[in-house]
A and B are shown apart, each in its own frame.
Chain A
Amino acid sequence: MAKGTNDAQLLIQSLRKAYASTPTSLKIIDLYVVYAVATALIQVAYMAMVGSFPFNSFLSGVLSCVGTAVLAVCLRIQVNKDNKEFKDLPPERAFADFVLCNLVLHLVIMNFLG
């Protein structure tokens, strides 16, 4: 048991160390993802409290948070310099795709919000 907690501590330390070495731009994207997921969780908790009556509004709210999180993760994948598959993709193109996809997502959200 002690070995288990020791291992867990070691694990968390090494994770923290490895993560600290990622560039700042990627950390900003990660922060954005965490914020989006947190907003989604808050919405789910709110729905659990007050009920889901305009279900389409709930759905569009949660899915918009999840959607932007997913798109931010895709952006991070494409912009990450350690990723060999996207070596020749200029980051401006990746960001432009990200903006376009977000535009479509939010257009749909606005329509579905009711």
Chain B
Amino acid sequence: MATSKVEGSSSLRHAFGGVLSVFILFLIGVVAFSIRLFSVIKYESVIHEFDPYFNYRVTQFLSKNGIYDFWNWFDDRTWYPLGRVIGGTVYPGLTLTAGTMWKLANSLNIPLSVETVCVFTAPIFSAFAAWATYLLTKEVKGPGAGITAAAILAMVPSYISRSVAGSYDNEAVAIFALIFTFYLYIKTLNTGSLFYATLNSLAYFYMVCSWGGYTFIINLIPMHVLLCIVTGRYSSRLYIAYAPLVVLGTLLAALVPVVGFNAVMTSEHFGSFLVFIIIHVVALVYYIKGILTPRLFKVATTLVLTVGIAVCAVVVAILVALVASSPTKGWSGRSLSLLDPTYASKYIPIIASVSEHQPPTWPSYFMDINVLAFLVPAGIVACFLPLSDASSFAVLYLVTSVYFSGVMVRLMLVLAPAACIMSGIALSEAFGVLTRSMKFHITKYFECSHTEAPAKLGESTSTESSAPLENMTKSDTTEKPEVARKEKVARRKQKKEKELTENAHVKPVSAKKERRPLVLPLEASIVSVFLLIVLGGLYVLHCVWAAAEAYSAPSIVLTSHSHDGLHVFDDFREAYAWLRHNTEVDDKVASWWDYGYQTTAMANRTVIVDNNTWNNTHIATVGTAMSSPEKAAWEIFNSLDVKYVLVVFGGLVGYPSDDINKFLWMVRIGGGVFPHIKEADYLKDGQYRVDAQATHTMLNCLMYKLSYYRFVETDGKGFDRVRRYEIGKKHFKLTHFEEVFTTHHWMVRIYKLKPQKNRIRGKSRKSKLGSKSTSSKSGGMTHKNPWN
């Protein structure tokens, strides 16, 4: 009777615990979704930044024309005159996901526009990512740690920064795919089931579709396999987890057009093949060890080693020669810049110029992962007691992502899930120890106060804990005559009971083992629990603040608070709308590559270069044009059929990311291809300035002239609010360009190329820069034909 009552109450507790965790997970999903909605509330439901506009345009195309046209799409409205093969150079995961969601919603007669679906894709997938973190951490440590980790990930600012509503970029779905792939890998490792291995490969396929960062997975998992082999944790489950993934994963990766044959030919994947071979060798060795006597096994090893090393040396020599013959040793530029942080600044200035690719500063760690920065070491310690395959994977994941986040600030995003898992484990273990101490002391207090119960303190907890254990043994004996299936059910129930009692923060097994339970004094544990809750509260506060203030700016609409209220700067969309309505459909617009995606998406005009930055020479051409004097620039732009030139200028309102601040990168990139552009010509005494002390080349280049044309008319003195001094050359005229539009706050300025003059009277003065091409010399006493 008592056992059935205990069974009933524990199963009730289990059911209650299950419902509670489902409810908590649902709330975590809601939090993850809503914390990312600040930009929609503060501004409007608009796509942010630059890259998302390209993804949005591709999704529009997909929704309008269907998947076959999307797969074969050749875009001629960008990188004029080269064009871009969209089907083969874009990671299709994000656009296909959003397109599917849009199609599903519309088929259910929910009339969502493509833009709405695109804006809200990221928050939805961040809720999924939180749930995936719960699953992953549950596999590593247990459900309590899982819920904590999920709650932390829902709010971590580093992930919020790339997945706010409106940030429609690859990372929005890729982080979910990353965590989910890792979860399935760990699940396969823990259970040894081939079913999960298949799911793992499919999840890896989704990851490859979504983001270029998939190389992280295909290098981290082999590293972990190698670590397990080296530390003596080889098991057949490891083989089942890894070998099918390599074969199926490589095939699936090769299916994605962006990756194609790179899946077998680039150095980024060689690691997985090498470990594939190694794991087969190890499996064979273990198998032979199992069927031979130890003496014969020793003989076998000596024989194999002597032959094997010779063969290996030959193979390795061939491989090294092959790889060394390519200049980049087979690695792509971006991967090389991760391994050698100084590579990009030396060889590929475009990669070095992107602000996201700079190493992070120390404060950015605290800003982005806040409290987790010091919970992570505690989590690492907790992972080692006890060490399992899954927890060793978590530690390895954390260590590698810490290294990569130190190289590139954009990769703090990959660190975020690892840090959340570790902190979840740490917090859950800490709460476990503290509440166990509290419960121990409180029961001891009650035992001592009821003097009729003579049980010793250790025994009281052990009787509590032995009750479920007795229950287990009783259920075993009663169910022995029944079918084996029932036994499995009982075993699963035992496991669930164990998990449930862990959930209730009592560890019966460990309490039974130690006669002297390791508990802390009551006051210390109460204070510690309170402090941990305060820590959690501070973390939540910081996350909400970061989401609201720091990471919700759509960067296409700017606001500023002044004494007379809120000013909204909508200049970008104003300029793109002007372009859209006042130019011909086939007109080409030249600007710096930052604005390419936005121009094609919103203004619907052909651009010369855009954010894809795949062709360095083309970008260098535009950079050279911006750095040259007017006539040379006009020549370059005319050769590219450009009609309009667009510059961004922040000097009137103090917008710091304008083209004058980016100008040195234009010079560097242009100078990398065209040697007549020398950076030193634009610097005075090594300093970059545009005031009266600036160099002649700087004051006459196209960028200066287009930015500051008529600027002196605004305040009479030409005071640049970003650079904080008066400009050098104030009164000048444009000879080869004419201004056609300047936005309300002078942030975007559009110029048109003046057509070539029809008649050249007399001798044309080609040598003098910036002069009119008609000569004022009357009377054509030249050898030229006077009719021309």
Do A and B share a complex?
yes
A interface list, Cβ under 8 A from B: 4, 7-8, 10-11, 14-15, 18-19, 55-56, 59-60, 63, 66-67, 70-71, 73-75, 77-78, 82-83, 85-86, 88-89, 94, 97-98, 100-101, 104-105, 108-109, 111-112
Q: Which residues of B contact A109 (CB under 8 A)?
A: 251
Q: At the interface, yes or no: B613 with Cβ under 8 Å from chain A?
A: no
Q: Is A105 within 8 A of B251, CB to CB?
A: yes
B236 touches A83 (CB 8 A): yes
Instruction: Tell whether A85 pairs with B488 under 8 Å between CB atoms, given A67-B251, A108-B252.
Output: no
Q: Contact partner of B248 among A55, A67, A78, CB < 8 A?
A: A67
> Quick check: A94 and B194 within 8 Å, CB to CB?
yes
Contact (A11, B296) CB under 8 Å given A18-B291, A74-B244, A77-B240: yes
Q: Please state if B237 and A85 are interface contacts (CB–CB under 8 Å).
A: yes
Closest to A100 in B: B198
Residues of B within 8 A of A97 (CB): 193-195, 198
CB closest chain-A residue, reference B263: A59
Q: A11-B300, A75-B194, A101-B248 are in contact. List 5 more A-B contacts (CB 8 A).
A: A67-B251, A85-B237, A105-B251, A108-B251, A111-B255
B235 at the interface (CB under 8 A from A): yes
Q: How far apart sit A56 and B198, CA to CA, in the bound complex (Å)?
A: 22
B194 lies within 8 A of A71 (CB): yes
B201 contacts partner chain A, Cβ-Cβ < 8 Å: yes
Chain A nearest Cβ from B14, distance in angstroms: 22
CB-defined contacts of A7 to chain B, threshold 8 Å: 299, 303
A98 CB, min distance to chain B CBs, angstroms: 6
Q: How far apart are the CA atoms of A104 and B247 in the complex, in Å?
A: 12
A77 / chain B contacts, CB cutoff of 8 Å = 236, 239-240
Interface: B367 (CB within 8 A): no
Q: Known: A83-B236, A105-B251. Contact between A67 and B244, CB under 8 A?
A: yes
Evaluate contact between A4 and B303: CB separation under 8 angstroms.
yes
Q: How far is B201's CA from A78's CA once the two chains are assembled, in angstroms?
A: 19
* Closest beta carbon of chain B to A114's beta carbon, Å: 11
Q: Is B544 an interface residue (CB 8 A)?
A: no
Instruction: Let me know if B74 is at the binding interface, CB within 8 A.
Output: no
The answer to whether A74 touches B243, judged by C-beta atoms less than 8 angstroms apart, is: yes
User: Bound state CA distance, A63 and B201, in angstroms?
Assistant: 14
Are A10 and B299 interface neighbours, CB within 8 A? Answer: yes
Would you mind naming 24 contact pairs between A and B with Cβ atoms under 8 Å apart? A7-B303, A11-B292, A14-B293, A14-B296, A19-B291, A55-B261, A59-B251, A63-B251, A66-B247, A73-B283, A74-B240, A77-B239, A82-B290, A83-B236, A86-B236, A88-B488, A94-B194, A97-B193, A100-B194, A101-B197, A104-B201, A108-B248, A111-B255, A112-B251
Minimum CB distance partner of B248 in chain A:
A105
CB of B243, distance to nearest CB on chain A (Å): 5
- The answer on a CB contact under 8 Å between B291 and A74 is no
Cβ contacts under 8 Å, A63 to chain B: 247, 250-251
CA of A19 to CA of B255, assembled, Å: 40
**CA A89 to CA B193, docked complex, whole Å:** 9
Q: Which residue of chain B is the closest to A101 with respect to CB atoms?
A: B198
B236 contact set on A, CB distance < 8 A: 77, 83, 85-86
Known: A8-B303, A67-B247. A15 touches B261 (CB 8 A): no
Q: Which of B193, B198, B247, B250: most chain A Cβ within 10 A?
A: B247
Q: Which of B194, B264, B288, B300 contacts A98 (CB 8 A)?
A: B194
Q: Are A59 and B264 in contact (CB under 8 A)?
A: yes
Interface string of B282-312 (1 = CB under 8 A from A): 0100001011110010011001000000000
Residues of B within 8 A of A56 (CB): 254, 261
Smallest CB separation, A28 vs chain B (Å):
17
Q: How far is A100 from B194 in the complex, measured between Cα atoms in Å?
A: 9
Are B251 and A70 in contact (CB-based, < 8 A)? no
A contact residues around B193 at 8 Å (CB) = 89, 97
Q: Are B194 and A18 in contact (CB under 8 A)?
A: no
Interface of A is mostly: helix
Minimum distance in angstroms from B617 CB to a CB of chain A: 29
B264 to chain A, nearest CB (A): 6
- Residue of B with least CB distance to A22: B291
Chain B residues near A86 (CB, 8 Å)? 192, 236
Q: Is A70 in contact with B296, judged by CB distance below 8 angstroms?
A: no
Report Cα–Cα, A67/B291, bound state, in Å. 26
- CB of B235 within 8 A of CB of A85, answer yes
Residue of A whose beta carbon sits closest to that of B255? A112
Decide if A70 touches B198 in the complex (CB within 8 Å).
no
Interface string of B16-34 (1 = CB under 8 A from A): 0000000000000000000
Which residue of B is nearest A63, CB measured?
B251
Residue of B nearest to A7 (CB): B299
Bound CA–CA A86/B243 (angstroms): 18
In the assembled complex, how far is the CB of residue A58 from the closest CB belonging to chain B, in whole angstroms?
10
Whether B300 lies near A74 (C-beta < 8 A) is no
- Cβ contacts under 8 Å, A60 to chain B: 251
A75 CA to B251 CA, complexed, in Å: 21
Residue pair B288, A15 in contact (C-beta under 8 Å): yes
Closest to B198 in A: A101
Q: Does B202 contact A (CB under 8 A)?
A: yes
Nearest residue in B to A95 (C-beta to C-beta)? B194
Query: By the criterion CB–CB under 8 Å, are A74 and B251 in contact?
Result: no
Chain A residues closer than 8 Å to B296, beta-carbon distance: 10-11, 14
In the complex the two chains form, is A11's CB within 8 Å of B255's CB? no
Nearest 3 CB-CB pairs, A to B?
Answer: A97-B194, A18-B291, A67-B247
Contacts of B244 in A (CB 8 A): 67, 70-71, 74, 101
Shortest CB-to-CB span from A67 to chain B, Å, is 4
Q: For A104, give the chain B residue with the smallest CB separation.
A: B198
8 Å CB contact of B254 from A10, A101, A112: A112
Residues of B within 8 A of A73 (CB): 239, 243, 283
Contact A18-B202, Cβ < 8 Å, known A10-B299, A60-B251, A108-B251: no
Complex Cα distance A14/B202, Å? 42
**Docked pose: A4 CA to B243 CA in angstroms:** 34
- A93 to chain B: closest CB distance in Å? 8
State which residues 190-206 of B face A: CB under 8 Å: 192-195, 197-198, 201-202
Whether B255 and A108, one on each chain, are in contact in the complex, defined by CB atoms closer than 8 angstroms, is yes
CB-CB nearest in chain A for B235: A85
- What is the chain A residue whose CB lies nearest that of B288? A15
Measured in the bound complex, the distance between the Cα atoms of B626 and A63 in whole Å is: 51
Partner of A74, one of B201, B239, B250, B252: B239
Q: How far is the CA of A111 from the CA of B251 in the complex (A)?
A: 10
Residues in chain A near residue B201, CB distance under 8 A:
104
* Residues from chain A with Cβ under 8 Å of B250 in the complex: 63
CB distance from B288 to the nearest CB of A (A): 7
- Across the interface, B299 reaches (CB within 8 A) one of A11, A71, A105, namely A11
Query: What is the CB-to-nearest-CB distance from A60 to chain B, in angstroms, rounded to a whole number?
Result: 7
Task: Find the B residue at minimum CB distance from A111.
Answer: B255
CA distance A67 to B251 in the complex (A): 10
Q: How far is the CB of B489 from chain A (nearest CB, A)?
A: 13
By a CB distance below 8 angstroms, the chain A residues around B303 are 4, 7-8, 11
